[in-house]
Structure 1
Amino acid sequence: MSIQNFLSNLDPRLQRMVLKNEQLEEEGLHTEAQKENLIPVIAKVTNIGKFQKITGVQKVTEITTAPDRSGQIVTAHIAANALPTVNKSPVVIQLQGAQPVKPLLKDTAREINLPSPQESSGNGGEGVIVGIVDHGCDFTYSSFRNTDGSTRLLALGIQEMMNDRTTSFQVYNSQQINKALGKPDPYKELQYPVDKYTHGTHVTDIAAGNGRNNKASGVATKADIIFVEPAYWDIPRGNLGNFGDSINFIEAVKFIFDQAGNRPCVVNISLGTNGGPHDGTTLVEQAFDGFVTDKPGRAIVIAASNSYADNIHTSGVVAQNGHIDLHWSIPTNDFTLNEVEIWYEGSDTFQIEVIDPQETTVCRVGLGELYHDGQIFASQEKSALNGDNVAMILCDVDREDMSTGKWTIRIHGSNVNNGKFHAWIERDNHTIGIQSIFAASRDNNYTIGSVSCGHKSIVVGSYDAKNLNTPISYFSSAGPTRDGRHKPEISAPGHGVLAAASLTGNGVTGMSGTSMAAPTVAGVVALILSEAKALGVNLDIDQIRTILERTARHNPPSQQGWDSRYGHGRVDAHAAVAAVRAMAEGRQPLPSAVTQEEKEALVRR
């Protein structure tokens, strides 16, 4: 197939959806449910009313105002054949396809230096809502219940996928949950089945479990809980790919903040993905920044990702008229969609050549061009997100002899002013963990998740609290962001963490990942917000982030300042709560760098 230009300036994921839709139409493979061909998108628009009236735009949901006040962020569903026209509308600032997102205590409580009830006014997160967006909440578990057996959950929200690929919320309030707890089969009563050892149950216990399992308590033991299960594993996939996930994701976060209203609230996100610009400009990250800047007393805590050792990132500098080869290895028997994204400066122009394992050139695409033959999709566009250029190569592996093996992506420097590029391989959906990798010239920096690069989120790395030296976890992803900002902000125990095991009543299981570190910090943020509420202090997101960063412990990391994996250091709950008291009492704010002696003196005051 020759290179096509008619879809230029459209997000590459949406380009592919238009082409896949046309291919299915031509081949007569659409099911009845697919004939509407509604594609879920995230958009930034100047006028929601005018956007809703554009032909082909349906099911618009207002999310938040962009943090720079440049427009409103919304989700919507757009007919595939209308996407190019909608993208060119003067009311559309940015139109972005969704990305897939997937899941990423005794030692924890000791290691993070939890304050005792006598050392704080906030009483274990009382008055604060801890929101969890994850998969599988065992609402019957002992540590999510009060001493009288009633639930600590204010709401359990379950996104349900409809036939047209839109979602609806099934919401159970505390009264409905309590009624179900009185039935012989509570799960059947709510029509909410739960698997054993679910990720979400474990994460919730770390953040807010109250210790009624007689094993160990989480961090914010008195906080209220809102749990939302997004429909990220219920997207109709088939031939149309993994769309809709991150749209459901931001709607889930919006649900929690809407439920919280003016109450202090921290949302934990232990989910992520690899692809994207890694500079905080995705509409998901802009939505997150908008949520937490909209009102004081709000925070979003995100796992840094577990990709440090996965060989999914590389970078380099292309010379004028030179080229660099990326060697992309797709394992045998990996018959999933594999994806590489390459991001580089908008002042440069590259040619991207795709060479198959038989060393035959499949295509060569320039800026504003795309190629699609049913198996390989390749395109280059100037991104509306940030003005940089992005090349995307997707391989639908369906023929073992043709598709698996070592592919070469040759980057040619056509017009080079800067030459720097970064490339990421998207996380694989394969159930047994087969992952394509860069076979050479790997760079394990810049591996934090693509939704973990926002300007206002709090991103958390993982270390091993069971080791006296508290070494960083081998899997814990590294910063900085592509635009050079310091992410992650902080680190917490995430290695072999014992917490709630669903369907056991009060049993525990061990899990490792930045998924376990993030809820520890979310729990500490709940303690900070609870202390502030009790002392009459309103904290904005910048103050919350500053408190965490300036009270972090630095041994390890040994240096003051920021480390690409530990962040500003290991979280210190005791010192963080003490810092809130210092603010409330009008004492001097913490300096930019604090010695261990100064922190100990602060805690003693």
Structure 2
Amino acid sequence: MDPKLKLIVKGNPREELQLLLRLKSAHIYPKHCKVISQFGDIISCRILRKDLLSVYDDPATRSLKAPQVIPADFYDDSGYSNVINKVNRHQPKTKKSPVVFGIIDFGFDFSHPDFLDNEGKTRFEKIWVQPLKQSNKNKYGYGEIFNDSHINNALKSREPFKSLGYHPGRNDFIGRGMHGTHVLGIAASSGVISKKSFAGNSPIVAVDMGSSYVNGSDLSLGDSVKLIEGLDFILKQAGNRPCVINMSLGGHCSDHTGNTLVEIAFNNILKKRGGTVIVQSTGNYFLANCHNAGILSQDETIEIEWLFKARDRSANEIEIWYENEDRIAVELLDDEGNVFGESFPFQDSIINYDGIQNGIIFHRHNEPNSTKNHINIILSKRPDSRRLIVRLKGIEISNGEYHAYIERDDVGQSYFSAEDVNTNFTIGSICNAPLTIAVGAYNQEDIYKTPMHFSSAGPTIDRRIKPEILAAGNKIVAAKSAAKFQLKSKSELTAKSGSSMASPYVASLAVKVLEHFPKINIYELRQLLFKSCTTLNSMNKTIINKSGYGVIEVNKLNTLLKLKKKQYENNKST
């Protein structure tokens, strides 16, 4: 059973749980399971806690998962700056794009001029604010959905946020600007304040994941169930129109083979729905010191240092993934070499340190989606010593490869010692799917177009190229949202760095492709974008692992689009 699922088995039997489920057959469902959204064999569903075990054991169920935290892919760039431009540019009348731009993120300033059309009306068709208390009934059972009429009416007010009942900067106390507004501005600015983007004529459908209350716990972040239901919301609104979805989201842990239920859902969408693209930031985890990997031999012991910050008061977590045919034991030791937690294949065990029970080790054989073995170590708090040893023992070894990830923790990130860190395979937890496009960041001010120092490196653990594309990610200027105490947008811009800033640029280029070829399949579209890249000439393995097919070049893409259009017209005439 999924470790997180074991943590929520006990509790109020009548509580309705939000879960992801993989079906053995896409048309046969378990009993006692209410389907909310479906992409092929992946569904999001609601199950009463009293029925959880029966659904898990149902013949129709292949895999059942509790929600996984999906934080925004934010890089803390201390060199950010604000740019104010109060002079609105003259905008010629433009035709509305047939391509819908979907975004799942946090904090959308609908009052910013860059998201208005030529008539001063909103380009947002809908915004689903998932954390808000539901006041308009929707099929998902949470959050509030605002349509363009709601937003346009609010824009007529002197206090549009108050009028609508949604302040995008509710968590922005110091005026740095919300992640979602800036990301959206890079992709879809109409050009009123900042430079017009390639998706500047697209209608926008946005999902604000915000904070979320999941199965009795306030995670203060979005989660995998709400992410999948956000995708469902965007695609339902898009209808038959072509659609590009940007997600600058992700964490550290997962099997990194593209076999999480979220990633399988991504692939199912892209295989079935023509004219659809999902673009993701690869992550800013290269320097996070949160990945360790190695080859463990028979009867060998490997020790890994796990370090904690003094002010870390949050829970901490490690996932270790290894091959199905192997058997690895794990021990946790303190500074003095005392073992206070251990797990042999495939036994769960309690962790006791600092005098009380403070954690648990889950140890699973043959996780049903990746087929790998999985060790999940969860600590309720950091140890007083601030240093632990994770000891791995090779019990039965045929392959020996393992990968260990410390989960992302924006409250107090723990980390491996520098000697134990492997910076490859550090792409985000949900951007390993074969058909999505993962984007890394490069420094556009560097003549060598070097990948940014923080940008995550591939490949996937099953050795596929990720990220596939590099785009500019150094101090990118785009829309800045109003801060918490402001009544509406101040028409400001801000500069931020990160792979989050690279991803929406590539997403906007995908819009450009779909405007020419609205029914193109994902395989052809991927190849168009990859052929538009300039490979970085480097012998450095790290640069190769960060850069994929290279830096995206819009001029190359324009040339390829002209050629493809000419070929299409020639074929049509014959």
What TM-score results when the alignment is normalised by the length of structure 2?
Answer: 0.86
Percent of aligned pairs with the same residue? Answer: 29
1:117 corresponds to which residue? none
1:319 corresponds to which residue? 297
Distance in structure 1 (CA, Å) of the matches to 2:96 and 2:227: 25
Distance in structure 1 (CA, Å) of the matches to 2:293 and 2:556: 38
1:194 corresponds to which residue? 168
Does 2:194 align with 1:210?
no
2:523 corresponds to which residue? 542
2:38 corresponds to which residue? 63
1:112 corresponds to which residue? none
Distance in structure 2 (CA, Å) of the matches to 1:228 and 1:243: 13
Of residues 518-527 and 503-512 in structure 1, the stretch that sits farther from structure 2 once superposed is 503-512
Counterpart secondary structure, 2:564 = helix
Distance in structure 2 (CA, Å) of the matches to 1:261 and 1:298: 11
Distance in structure 1 (CA, Å) of the matches to 2:553 and 2:221: 39
1:504-515 → structure 2 map (5 Å cutoff): 504-515=489-500
Q: 1:168 aligns with which of 142, 158, 162?
A: 142
Contact 1:341 / 1:424 at 8 angstroms: preserved in 2? yes
Cα distance per residue 1:506-527 (max 9 Å; x no partner): 2111111111100010001001
Contact 1:130 / 1:266 at 8 angstroms: preserved in 2? yes
1:474-485 → structure 2 map (5 Å cutoff): 474-485=453-464
1:189-338 → structure 2 map (5 Å cutoff): 189-195=163-169, 196=175, 197-213=177-193, 215-231=194-210, 233-235=211-213, 245-338=223-316
Q: 2:361 aligns with which of 375, 378, 381?
A: 378
Task: Name the Cα RMSD after superposition.
Answer: 2.6
Contact 2:212 / 2:218 at 8 angstroms: preserved in 1? no
Cα distance per residue 1:364-390 (max 9 Å; x no partner): 212231013541110111201121101
Contact 2:18 / 2:66 at 8 angstroms: preserved in 1? yes
Distance change in 2, residues 1:242/1:172 (3 Å): closer
Counterpart secondary structure, 2:129 = strand
Q: CA offset at residue 559 of structure 1?
A: 9.8
Distance in structure 1 (CA, Å) of the matches to 2:103 and 2:420: 37
Distance in structure 1 (CA, Å) of the matches to 2:48 and 2:360: 21
What TM-score results when the alignment is normalised by the length of structure 1?
Answer: 0.82
Counterpart secondary structure, 1:346 = coil
Cα distance per residue 1:210-250 (max 9 Å; x no partner): 1101x42233222221111124x222587686797111011
The amino acid of 1:60's aligned partner reads V
Contact 2:212 / 2:221 at 8 angstroms: preserved in 1? no
Contact 2:106 / 2:180 at 8 angstroms: preserved in 1? yes
Distance in structure 1 (CA, Å) of the matches to 2:520 and 2:208: 28
Does 2:130 align with 1:159?
yes
Does 2:16 align with 1:17?
no
Q: 2:66 aligns with which of 97, 114, 118?
A: 97
1:452-531 → structure 2 map (5 Å cutoff): 452-503=431-482, 504-531=489-516
Q: CA offset at residue 564 of structure 1?
A: 1.1
Distance in structure 1 (CA, Å) of the matches to 2:331 and 2:569: 58
Counterpart secondary structure, 1:149 = coil
Counterpart secondary structure, 1:586 = helix
Distance in structure 2 (CA, Å) of the matches to 1:187 and 1:549: 41
Distance change in 2, residues 1:500/1:240 (3 Å): closer
1:118 corresponds to which residue? none
Counterpart secondary structure, 2:277 = strand
The amino acid of 2:38's aligned partner reads I
2:109 corresponds to which residue? 138
1:425 corresponds to which residue? 406
Cα distance per residue 1:230-282 (max 9 Å; x no partner): 24x22258768679711101111121111111111100000111111000111
Distance change in 2, residues 1:255/1:424 (3 Å): same
Distance change in 2, residues 1:409/1:80 (3 Å): farther
1:601 corresponds to which residue? none
Distance change in 2, residues 1:483/1:290 (3 Å): same
Contact 1:327 / 1:406 at 8 angstroms: preserved in 2? yes
Contact 1:532 / 1:539 at 8 angstroms: preserved in 2? yes
Distance change in 2, residues 1:322/1:177 (3 Å): same
Distance change in 2, residues 1:580/1:73 (3 Å): same
Distance in structure 1 (CA, Å) of the matches to 2:514 and 2:569: 19
Contact 2:327 / 2:345 at 8 angstroms: preserved in 1? yes
Contact 1:161 / 1:168 at 8 angstroms: preserved in 2? yes
Contact 2:212 / 2:219 at 8 angstroms: preserved in 1? no
1:435 corresponds to which residue? 413
Contact 2:71 / 2:249 at 8 angstroms: preserved in 1? yes
Distance in structure 2 (CA, Å) of the matches to 1:483 and 1:411: 22
1:5 corresponds to which residue? none
Distance change in 2, residues 1:48/1:551 (3 Å): closer
Q: 2:554 aligns with which of 558, 561, 573?
A: 573
Distance in structure 1 (CA, Å) of the matches to 2:37 and 2:214: 24
5+ long unaligned stretches in structure 1: 1-9, 26-33, 66-71, 105-122, 590-605
Distance in structure 1 (CA, Å) of the matches to 2:18 and 2:216: 15
Distance change in 2, residues 1:462/1:268 (3 Å): same
Distance change in 2, residues 1:85/1:521 (3 Å): same
Distance in structure 2 (CA, Å) of the matches to 1:145 and 1:178: 10
Distance change in 2, residues 1:494/1:80 (3 Å): same
The amino acid of 1:413's aligned partner reads G
Q: CA offset at residue 437 of structure 1?
A: 0.5
Of residues 139-148 and 239-248 in structure 1, the stretch that sits farther from structure 2 once superposed is 239-248
Count the aligned residue pairs: 525
Distance in structure 1 (CA, Å) of the matches to 2:149 and 2:313: 46
Does 2:340 align with 1:362?
yes
Q: CA offset at residue 79 of structure 1?
A: 4.1
Contact 2:132 / 2:143 at 8 angstroms: preserved in 1? no
Contact 2:116 / 2:123 at 8 angstroms: preserved in 1? yes
Contact 2:67 / 2:214 at 8 angstroms: preserved in 1? no
1:183 corresponds to which residue? 157
Distance change in 2, residues 1:588/1:277 (3 Å): farther
Distance in structure 1 (CA, Å) of the matches to 2:331 and 2:151: 56
Distance change in 2, residues 1:43/1:495 (3 Å): same
Distance change in 2, residues 1:242/1:225 (3 Å): closer
Contact 2:458 / 2:546 at 8 angstroms: preserved in 1? yes
Distance in structure 2 (CA, Å) of the matches to 1:355 and 1:190: 53
Q: CA offset at residue 529 of structure 1?
A: 0.7
Q: CA offset at residue 411 of structure 1?
A: 0.9
